[in-house]
A and B are shown apart, each in its own frame.
Chain A
Amino acid sequence: MDEETIKRFEQILKAREFYVVGKKVARVDALDAVLGRPMYTTDLLTSKALYVRAVRSPHPHALIRSIDSSATRSVRGVVDVITHREIPGVNDAGSLTSDRPLLAVDRVRHYGEAVALVVGEDEVSVDEGIAAFRVEYEPLPAVFDPVEALKPDAPRIQEQGNLINHVKIRKGNVEEGFSASDVVIRNEYRTPFMDGVPMEIEVAYAYPEPDGTITCIASMQNPFDVYNKVTKVLGLPPEKVRVIQAATGGGFGPKSDESPIDVAAYAALAAYRNRRPALATFTREEAMAVQTKRHSFRIVNETGATSDGRLLAWRSTLYLTNGPYYSKGHLVIQRATFHCTGPYEVPNVWADGYAVLTNNTLAGSTRGFGAPEAHFAAEVQMDVLAEKLGMDPLELRMKNMLRPGSLTATSQRIDDDGLVRCVEAAARLSRWTERRREHEQFNRANGRYRRGIGIALLYHGNTLGPEGEDYAVVHLSVDERGKVKLQTGLTEYGTGALTSLAILVAEALGIDVRDVELLRPDTRAVRNPGPTVASRTTVIGGRAALDAAAKLRAILDPIAAELLGCRQDELVYRDGKVMVAGDPNRSISFRELVRRAIGMGLELKVEGFYKAPDTKWDKETGQGAPYNQYTFGALVSEVEVDLLTGAVRVLRMTAVYDVGKAINPLGLKALIEGGSIMGLGHALTEEFLLSDGVPVTLGFQGYSIPTSVESPFEIVQEVVESEGKIGALGAKAMGEIPVVLPMASIANAVAHAIGYHIKETPLKPSRILEALEELGIAYRP
């Protein structure tokens, strides 16, 4: 179907009142979840499976001198041992870049790198087999710090060197900007590695079909990434591998990267070699050791402004600490660098972002993809500047924020007023000025507790932009009962995006959401829709869903028009009926219409497609329009700091986001709350620590994520709808967004409470106490 027809169809949809879109609709999968129906991978095991687990390196960097699996093979219950030599196809498991072997060949580059697989009848025999496995290593010099890793004499982790991307922004003349500034401040910000920690551990179940096909059911975000690598590893023809996504208990990025490929390939190899079903999973500690982490960042921001608070110059240097393999590090640095000034107009910007390989464990995509770290550094910087200028932090932001006509750091022109509306709403809802005064009043009592309020603003370049081809495919078919089946390789793993697709289809066909049935993502049944990442399912996938619905309408409209004796453009699809506009008595039920169409021999099966326009920017200057549209937002946090223990409590948050168009309001509410709480963890407790490359914070006792009692008592929300250029019905990306601002917003609130900006996360009690001691305000009873 041509672009013109689709556009017209969407315009017709937008022009009228919505019947389903924007209404309170329950998640399509909520009923199964509350009843505890089997839907996750290990719920679906059909027969006794072999168990697979990896022998892993205890060294962050070492040569493999020799491997001896003889003792392992003699362990009772062990049925197979697989090293790189036994891989029938290509030893390649890198999600985007073919730099990461599934099983190490002669060298390991991080703690926990897989050297071999042990396959056995059960977990116990496999664990015994692993304990009996002998590997002789020769440790190599390793490097863990990005600045060290860039030195010429640093150990080379991969052939081409340790610098894997250098992203530049060159806008205006930054030196002149600084010369003209009345105030210049320079600060360094640091954030640690963090773990997305989906609650469901990576798992894959593979079995051989009678025709030799290897079918793999697994927990993941991107079935096609997994399919491509499993096919390559097994060396099988494409039609002999099938990957199905089971319900997936959380994604958060790690499940789009390396570890889902690993477990799927482990299970598939074991099933293929032994002609039996096989299950591969991790222990929680193993998962935390090897799943890709949020990169650690070191960011230096230098900012110049006039005495009345106009930003004139901004220089950023960003170091992203990667693991030893690319994963998504080269792309994460790009997003972080493009967003380095925060959502402000600065006439002169100079930025250098470096992504650097180290021998730390794997890092990759995690919800927000570099934006939380960039916003933390930019938004605390804005607060420090406000303090220096003696201005209210909100006032300084309003003076410089992106408005219609503003140019971003990459000189992309902003057309909509989303940010302005978010900031105004957040100030009003949070009662910014009064609350600020109240907290200051509270602090004058000089008791054990201090309170503060902080704000941070967001812009987030939508969907893939410079990170890949931004297209989607959604398949629809209709059966004789009038049920519409929606199937796509885009996946659900918690954000509710597939419910949004169902809502869009229901809206376009005038049926109840419950009459849209979701079929599982299955590489044999659908075309590759691109990855389910970058918050793009509702925005881009939604367009493909509408395209598919329009194609169904193109089949059904002529039949309905003839039956009802009207023109096609007079047809209205609503409440499960198709009727003539202005004459609702002339109608036919959707089901009856479908039955007639099928009776005429028509196949009601279509494929919807959408591809976002390519984005353009100059690699040398970073200037251009790297994203098709931006999500905007503002987050106000109020905290209480215990001057005795250093503990921080978040009392209340006020979150306002410009979502473009709220397709699924109930889903948005949970998403915004939940992302705020995840971000709260990033701000206050989460740090994945390694000691010379060896993880020390494994398990939930080592790595602390927020629980119910750390959650704010209240998260006040409002959404603004400032229509996006490309999203379905104007929707903007939201999946990752709520996790971007909490670090910055909470850090600024803490600074307001204690009178000092801590520039490193997490704001854990020991770090707060250190600051309190320095400030001389620690509480002594």
Chain B
Amino acid sequence: MVELKVNGRPYRVEVTENELLVDVLRYRLGFMGVKQGCGEGDCGLCLVLMNGRPVHSCLIPAWRADGSDIVTVEGIGSETSLHPVQRAFIDQGAVQCGFCIPAAVLIGKWLLDRGLAGDRETVRWAYRGLLCRCGSYLRFEEAVAQASRGG
């Protein structure tokens, strides 16, 4: 039995030994915003914030998330009240195929939370672990810059 908070709400889930956090989040709890692109920690699409830090949820056994506080893209804004990073992603045209966008938005939020969003080089390196085949990297940088300027 694992107890964890996702987007502020507590959950109790029975998990098996080999079950991964990504699968628990997606298929047990329904957070489909968490994506998967390789299952090996290379692409970064399964990124979530765990206790405030970005992690690859495909590399984390579910039992290790016991007691942790998880944030997925579903937890940071809504249609009527978008997070500034979400707003900026739309404004800057950052969405192409969309598949890496949940992870990219979370990285942006983390940068903003940490007060790192103003430095271009830091932002660039923060996205190093996320593969976007559409090549939206410069859009991500522009969007984070916009959000850091306050929208």
Q: Which residues in A have some Cβ–Cβ distance to B below 8 Å?
A: 26-27, 29-40, 42-43, 45, 196-201, 247-252, 283-284, 493-496, 666-667, 669-671, 673-678, 699-701, 705-709, 711-712, 714-715
In the complex, chain A residues whose CB is within 8 Å of the CB of B112: none
> Given that A34-B105, A670-B139 are contacting pairs, would A700 and B131 also be in contact in the complex, using a CB cutoff of 8 Å?
yes
Beta-carbon contact of A708 and B93 below 8 Å: no
**Among candidates B32, B34, B86, B97, residue contacting A200 with C-beta atoms closer than 8 Å:** B97
B interface size (C-beta, 8 A): 53
**Among candidates B38, B78, B97, residue contacting A494 with C-beta atoms closer than 8 Å:** B97
Chain B, residue nearest A288 (CB): B38
Distance in angstroms between the alpha carbons of A316 and B8 in the assembled complex: 64
Beta-carbon contact of B137 and A34 below 8 Å: no
In angstroms, how far is the closest chain A Cβ from the Cβ of B93? 4
In angstroms, how far is the closest chain A Cβ from the Cβ of B78? 7
Distance in angstroms between the alpha carbons of A462 and B103 in the assembled complex: 35
**Among candidates B33, B91, B137, residue contacting A36 with C-beta atoms closer than 8 Å:** B33
Beta-carbon contact of B100 and A711 below 8 Å: no
Distance in angstroms between the alpha carbons of A5 and B95 in the assembled complex: 37
In the complex, chain B residues whose CB is within 8 Å of the CB of A36: 31-34, 72-74, 101-102, 105
Residue of A30, A42, A43, A495 contacting most chain B CB atoms (<10 Å): A30
6 residue pairs of the A-B complex, CB under 8 angstroms, read: A32-B98, A35-B78, A198-B97, A199-B37, A250-B97, A673-B138
Beta-carbon contact of B133 and A670 below 8 Å: no
Beta-carbon contact of B77 and A709 below 8 Å: no
Residue of B79, B82, B99 contacting most chain A CB atoms (<10 Å): B99
Beta-carbon contact of A707 and B137 below 8 Å: yes
Beta-carbon contact of A199 and B97 below 8 Å: yes
Beta-carbon contact of A496 and B135 below 8 Å: no
Distance in angstroms between the alpha carbons of A493 and B98 in the assembled complex: 9
In angstroms, how far is the closest chain B Cβ from the Cβ of A685? 13
Beta-carbon contact of B127 and A35 below 8 Å: no
Chain A, residue nearest B141 (CB): A708
Q: Which residues in B have some Cβ–Cβ distance to A below 8 Å?
A: 26-27, 31-35, 37-40, 42-43, 45, 72-74, 77-79, 82, 86, 89-91, 93-102, 105, 124-125, 127-141
Beta-carbon contact of A33 and B98 below 8 Å: yes
In angstroms, how far is the closest chain B Cβ from the Cβ of A686? 11
Beta-carbon contact of A707 and B77 below 8 Å: no
Beta-carbon contact of A248 and B97 below 8 Å: yes
**Among candidates B33, B102, B125, B133, residue contacting A708 with C-beta atoms closer than 8 Å:** B125
Chain B, residue nearest A196 (CB): B133
In angstroms, how far is the closest chain A Cβ from the Cβ of B35? 8
Distance in angstroms between the alpha carbons of A4 and B8 in the assembled complex: 61
Distance in angstroms between the alpha carbons of A496 and B136 in the assembled complex: 13
**Among candidates B43, B72, B101, residue contacting A33 with C-beta atoms closer than 8 Å:** B101
Q: A35-B86, A673-B139, A708-B140 are in contact. List 11 more A-B contacts (CB 8 A).
A: A30-B95, A35-B78, A36-B73, A40-B35, A669-B93, A670-B96, A699-B38, A706-B137, A707-B128, A708-B137, A711-B138
Beta-carbon contact of B42 and A35 below 8 Å: no
Distance in angstroms between the alpha carbons of A456 and B39 in the assembled complex: 38
In the complex, chain B residues whose CB is within 8 Å of the CB of A26: 90-91, 93
In the complex, chain B residues whose CB is within 8 Å of the CB of A707: 127-131, 137
In the complex, chain B residues whose CB is within 8 Å of the CB of A496: 96
In angstroms, how far is the closest chain A Cβ from the Cβ of B107? 10
Chain A, residue nearest B87 (CB): A34
Beta-carbon contact of A249 and B128 below 8 Å: no
Chain B, residue nearest A738 (CB): B135
In the complex, chain A residues whose CB is within 8 Å of the CB of B43: 199, 284, 700
> Given that A33-B101, A35-B74 are contacting pairs, would A494 and B90 also be in contact in the complex, using a CB cutoff of 8 Å?
no
Distance in angstroms between the alpha carbons of A197 and B33 in the assembled complex: 21
In angstroms, how far is the closest chain B Cβ from the Cβ of A26? 5
In the complex, chain A residues whose CB is within 8 Å of the CB of B100: 199, 249
In angstroms, how far is the closest chain B Cβ from the Cβ of A194? 12
In the complex, chain A residues whose CB is within 8 Å of the CB of B130: 707-708
Beta-carbon contact of A674 and B135 below 8 Å: yes
**Among candidates B37, B86, B136, B138, residue contacting A34 with C-beta atoms closer than 8 Å:** B86
In angstroms, how far is the closest chain B Cβ from the Cβ of A505? 20
In the complex, chain B residues whose CB is within 8 Å of the CB of A676: 135
Residue of A249, A699, A709 contacting most chain B CB atoms (<10 Å): A249
In angstroms, how far is the closest chain B Cβ from the Cβ of A221? 11
**Among candidates A29, A30, A196, A199, residue contacting B45 with C-beta atoms closer than 8 Å:** A199
**Among candidates A35, A283, A705, A709, residue contacting B128 with C-beta atoms closer than 8 Å:** A709
In angstroms, how far is the closest chain B Cβ from the Cβ of A739? 9
In the complex, chain B residues whose CB is within 8 Å of the CB of A251: 97
**Among candidates B99, B127, B138, residue contacting A715 with C-beta atoms closer than 8 Å:** B138
Distance in angstroms between the alpha carbons of A31 and B77 in the assembled complex: 11
In the complex, chain B residues whose CB is within 8 Å of the CB of A248: 97
Distance in angstroms between the alpha carbons of A197 and B97 in the assembled complex: 13
> Given that A284-B37, A673-B135, A674-B134 are contacting pairs, would A247 and B128 also be in contact in the complex, using a CB cutoff of 8 Å?
no
